[in-house]
Amino acid sequence: MRTQVGIIGAGPAGLLLAHLLHLRGIESVVLEVRSRAYIEERIRAGLLEQGTVDILDGAGAAARLHREGMIHEGLALRFDGESHRIPLTDLTGRRVTIYGQQEVVKDLVALRLGYGAPLVFEAADVAVHDIDSERPSITWTEDGAPRRLECDIIAGCDGFHGICRGNIPPDVLRIYERVYPFAWLGILAEAPNVHHELIYARHDRGFALATMRTPTLTRLYLQCRPDEDLGEWPDHRIWEELHARLARRDGPSEVHEGPIVQKGVTAMRSFVAEPMRQGRLFLAGDAAHIVPPTGAKGMNLAVADVWYLTQALEAFYAGRGTAGLDGYSDRCLRRIWKAQRFSWWMTSMLHRFDAGDAFEHKVQVAELDYLCGSEAGMRTLAENYVGLPLD
Ligand code: APR
Ligand code: PHB
């Protein structure tokens, strides 16, 4: 089998890249190790920057997003039992949209299968070959039979645990990493939303976030230990902790309880692999970088990467040379590091690092207090949160 671009991984990065290339007349084959049901049900974050929505819109992939997405023009920071609104849209002219990542994945899978382009699920033993030549290839096993795909370019969109990054030689690959001493326990509950906007809460017992999926499906997160055992978190303990961390000084929390339909623990890590390219292999999304979810940047960064990669591939196939491909890694990394900084900053400001460190608590609250009392401070947060420009 032969194609122009071989894409490994059917997450938001791989699926969107395949679709953007299709719209430009560039052929690709997408290979995914998991089943369709698995990738469509996998619960992840769900906040889209306006730039992400605009890219999906321009690609004709936003019809359901526009019907079901929840548009937000502000968010609340809560500390010392009081909420402070950051008016994102007043400060930046831009909005964000809540729409689950797996909904984006479902929409992109349906589009691709709708026009009959190749998308292989349950591709086992995926491996890349000859990436330093002009004829790289991918091999895998499908229904027990060995398969091979020759291509011009390989896009490594296979997430943090994928195989692509490992093909960059160790003497070339540089890893920058920070692992946080906590994780997030996330739940999905059939309950009214806590508030019509997101609440990011700093509390002495640890961070909490109140977000949503639909008006009656609420997503809530609690800072927990990285090795947290979900068995120690019966529903009543989760609600008790949410009430406490989201409590208001002058009244009870607005948390509404309801049946918990999903529970999970997400590790918190900042990670960047440089460069994002080796020969004809290009990494995009979580394959190259991970951010802690406090800044809501994960999926947005994946979309920005494939937007840049699409532009570079379009120029390459139009005979305009390899300058775009050669500059891909640096162009992505410049924006990625700004999102890394923002995600690290939000995480540092809102989480409890060391329960015994009273000085740190005071400094955190002072920073939040300063931020919420300063137009410049709020604007800095807002500009980064709604998404830096895609130059
Ligand atoms: N072969 C084929 N597919 C693979 C392989 C492999 N060896 N290893 C992993 N995959 C698949 C995974 O099953 C997954 O479907 O690659 C896909 C990668 O998708 P994501 O992990 O969603 O990564 P990405 O598309 O970069 O999107 C980034 O995901 O983790 C979140 O917060 C993150 O929102 C961000 C988004
Ligand atoms: C979510 O809705 O899952 C979500 C929103 C904002 C974040 C993280 C997660 O910062």
Residue 252 pLDDT: 82
Catalytic position from the list 200, 221, 308, 328: 200
Give the pLDDT mean for 255-272.
Answer: 96
User: 123 CA to middle of ligand 2, Å?
Assistant: 30
Residue 317 known to be catalytic:
no
Confidence check: pLDDT of 163 > 90: yes
Q: Which CATH class is domain 5-73+95-177+269-346?
A: alpha beta
User: Does residue 72 line the site of ligand 2, with CB under 6 A?
Assistant: no
At 12, list the tokens. Answer: 């938001």
Asked if 17 and 126 touch (Cβ cutoff 8 Å), the reply is no
Predicted TM-score (pTM) of the model is 0.97
Q: What does the pLDDT read at residue 253? A: 87
pLDDT (tens digit, 9 = 90+) per residue, 11-69? Answer: 999 999 999 999 999 999 999 999 999 999 998 889 999 999 999 999 999 999 999 99
- Give the Cα separation of 134 and 156 in Å (integer): 16
The full set of domain ranges for the chain reads 5-73+95-177+269-346, 180-268+354-386
Cα–Cα distance measured from residue 350 to residue 361, given in angstroms and rounded to the nearest whole number: 10
Residue 75, pLDDT above cutoff 90: yes
- Non-local (6+) Cβ contacts of 173 within 8 A are 165, 273, 274, 275
Instruction: Please report the pLDDT score of residue 301 as a whole number.
Output: 98
Q: What is the pLDDT of residue 391?
A: 79
- Which amino acid residue places its CA nearest to atom 2 of ligand 2? 46
Share of the chain above pLDDT 70, in %: 100
Active-site annotation holds for 263: no
Pocket of ligand 1 (CB under 6 A): 8-14, 31-34, 39, 44-45, 101, 123, 126, 157-159, 161-163, 285-287, 298-299, 302
Distance 61 CA to ligand 2 centre (A): 21
Quick one: fold of 180-268+354-386?
D-Amino Acid Oxidase; Chain A, domain 2 (3.30.9)
Identify the pLDDT of residue 157.
98
* Nearest ligand to the C-alpha atom of residue 164: 1
At 251, the pLDDT band (50, 70, 90 cuts) reads confident
Bridge partners of 84, per DSSP, are: 77
Q: What is the mean pLDDT of residues 88-110?
A: 98
